[in-house]
Amino acid sequence: MRRHAYSEILKIALAAVLMCLYVILNRFVSIYLPLGGMPSVRIGFSSVPIVFASLACGPIWGAVAGAGGDLIGAFAFPNGSGAYLYGYTIDQALLGIIPWVLMRIFKGHRRALGAFDILVSLLGIGAFFGLVIPDAAEGKYQIPLDLGGRIGLGVGVVALALISGGLTVFFSRRMFGEGDDLPLRVRQALKGRIRGLSGCSNKEIKRAIRRDGLGLMRLDLNAIASCGVDDISKSRNIGWKLFKASFSIHELKHIYVGGKPEKKVFSFLDIYSILLFEMITVKTLLLAFWGQLYFSIPYAYGVFSDLLTGIISLPILAVVTYAVMLPLANLGLFDLDSIKRSKRGRKR
């Protein structure tokens, strides 16, 4: 019970910190890209702390961080929208729930997650062709789309879906999955390799193992032989594991004894899938509804503008989120339930 209470306190404290970070990023840190000579596309990074709050603290505190951050921002730092709009608070609460739910559903099933991403991309295509194209053809809102423009945008959306599908298939390949532990021969070769470099600095050891991993990924025969790989079809998978572990001496020593990773870390596919689903459902379809309800903006126009913003910002946001996640995962951000109090804390 004490351990559970301690982890809950950590979650509350972390959710509060991430909620404050959300307010700062949402209200003061944004990048505007010009479109037609006007700063039309807003790229913000406020969703990053909400995703982390959901994955680290669970759906309840993730929703609290998202909704609470929106309430604080709306009343403490109001923008030009005027009165408080409850729909945006609902959006932020959902953004704090979705990451945890998706990871619970697709945990360890990379191919299923890749197929899910393709279906979500098709949903975006359906929204574009079913809502935007008909209204643009009838001139229901001010987007100058002639026949060539509609065809061009249609081709662009289809290309986005194909690119999304290609990315999900690529990142769901076995070389990017968790897989099993390294084969015994590879672990023995890695252990001998590290022992042979005992007179070198940790930086030199990591650099040498990194070269071995890259050699295996390139199917270099010398690297395959020196690393004890007896099945060339597994070379890339093993090389990727060595490459990832080569950034930490602790991880290298941990991997050659056949253990599993101590820290919970999510793959790029996980992060990309979360952001893609949130972009299509919450930030496009639902956000366009709030725009229609509050500001009488035609729903199809809201879908068009929000989808365009999401298409541009999604790859940038996915890369930034994953890059920030890796060092935080090494610090145990996503393992709060397994953190134990110190002996001193237990005595008290």
pLDDT attached to residue 185: 80
Lowest-confidence region among 138-142, 148-152, 268-272, 343-347? 343-347
Q: Give the residue with greater pLDDT, 32 vs 161.
A: 32
Instruction: With a cut of 60, say whether residue 176 has pLDDT above it.
Output: no
Give the residue-averaged pLDDT of 140-167. Answer: 59
pLDDT level of residue 35 (50, 70, 90 thresholds): low
Computed over every residue of the chain, the mean pLDDT equals 77
Instruction: Please give the span between the terminal C-alpha atoms of the chain, in angstroms, as a whole number.
Output: 15
Residue scoring higher pLDDT (77 or 92): 92
pLDDT reported for residue 74: 83
Question: Which pLDDT does position 64 carry in this prediction?
Answer: 94
Residue pLDDT, tens place only, 39-74: 556 778 888 999 999 999 999 999 999 999 999 988
Structure confidence at residue 150 (pLDDT): 58
pLDDT digits (tens, 9 = 90+) for 178-206: 444 677 788 788 888 877 877 788 888 88
Find how far residue 313's CA is from the centre of its chain. Answer: 13
Report the pLDDT value the prediction gives residue 114, as an integer from 0 to 100: 77
Q: Is 342 a residue whose pLDDT tops 50? A: no
Specify the higher pLDDT residue, 22 or 107.
Answer: 22
Query: Looking at residue 333, what is its pLDDT?
Result: 78
Segment 153-159 mean pLDDT: 64
- Per-residue 3-state assignment (H helix, E strand, C coil) for the chain: CHHHHHHHHHHHHHHHHHHHHHHHHHHHCEEEEEECCEEEEEEECCHHHHHHHHHHHCHHHHHHHHHHHHHHHHHHCCCCCCCCCHHHHHHHHHHHHHHHHHHHHCCCCHHHHHHHHHHHHHHHHHHHHHHHHHHHHCCCCCCCCCHHHHHHHHHHHHHHHHHHHHHHHHHCCHHHCCCCCCCHHHHHHHHHHHHHCCCCCHHHHHHHHHHHHHHHHCCCHHHHHHCCCCCHHHHHHHHHHHHHHCCCHHHHHHHCCCCCCCCCCCCHHHHHHHHHHHHHHHHHHHHHHHHHHHHCCCHHHHHHHHHHHHHHHHHHHHHHHHHHHHHHHHCCCCCHHHCCCCHHHHHC
Report pLDDT digits (tens) over 133-146.
666 555 555 555 55
Q: Is the pLDDT of residue 99 over 90?
A: yes
pTM surpassing 0.85?
A: no
pLDDT of residue 68: 92
Q: Given pLDDT bands bounded at 50, 70 and 90, which one contains residue 337?
A: low
Residue-level pLDDT at 315: 82
Q: What is the pLDDT of residue 93?
A: 94
Model pLDDT, residue 169: 54
pLDDT score of 305:
80
Least confident of 234-238, 265-269, 282-286: 265-269
101-105, 116-120, 246-250: range with highest mean pLDDT = 101-105
Kindly state the percentage of the chain with pLDDT values over 90.
16
Average of pLDDT values for 105-134? 79
pLDDT of residue 172: 47
Res 61: pLDDT: 92
What pLDDT is stored for residue 178 in this prediction?
42
